[in-house]
Homo-oligomer: A and B are copies of this chain.
């Protein structure tokens, strides 16, 4: 393995994942992963630019940053790239009004979005919100549209909580894709557009960036 100095030659910025890299979610909010608080602090003291790029879609950015700060991380809301704000931008640009199947914790990110008479569906990691009734409602909304549009905030298979593995949004995206015979548009990792927007916000080109994601993750 090359020394860090060599591996980082030409690198100007670092994109850090959050769940599974900085902390594992779970009871009471979760726990910082050993060494990660200090690693972030060291990166911030270095010449490198740092940005946090997450598919977290159970919490608003404000709530996520609040949790991370309580765990000891030096992070502010403006340093976080997350799928819900990216989705809001797309919805506004394309004049779409979503039916939302999302966790209550992230609903506030959509406060400025018109959700009347929906002409698309947005799903995110809804956790317990992925009831049969809620999934069937999202399915029925899609089937009533002439041109069904489904956005999925990420497409992760599962994630780790302190209590064990948990189904992420990806399996539910696949379920609706199969039920309706459509393909979802993924907002968030691993979509290249999402990474590009994170780099833009950091002011760094792709070849100048180094990314750190959890092993086996979709992004």
Contacts and interface: CB of A to CB of B under 8 A. Distances in A.
B166 A136 contact: yes
A183 to B, nearest CB: 13
A158 to B, nearest CB: 6
Contacts of A178: 157, 170-171, 174
Interface string A158-171: 10000011111011
Contact of A132 (B131, B143, B179): B131
A172 B143 CA distance: 17
A135 B130 contact: yes
A174 B175 CA distance: 6
Contact of A127 (B132, B166, B174, B181): B132
A170 B179 contact: yes
A164 B179 contact: no
Contact of A129 (B129, B132, B157, B175): B132
A139 interface: yes
Given A130-B132, A158-B179, A171-B174, 8 more contacts: A128-B131, A130-B131, A130-B135, A131-B131, A136-B167, A140-B165, A167-B179, A171-B176
Contacts of A129: 132
A164 B140 CA distance: 8
Contacts of A130: 131-132, 135
Contact of A165 (B126, B139, B164, B175): B139
Contacts of A143: 158, 165
Contacts of A135: 130, 167, 171
Nearest to A179: B171
Contacts of A126: 132
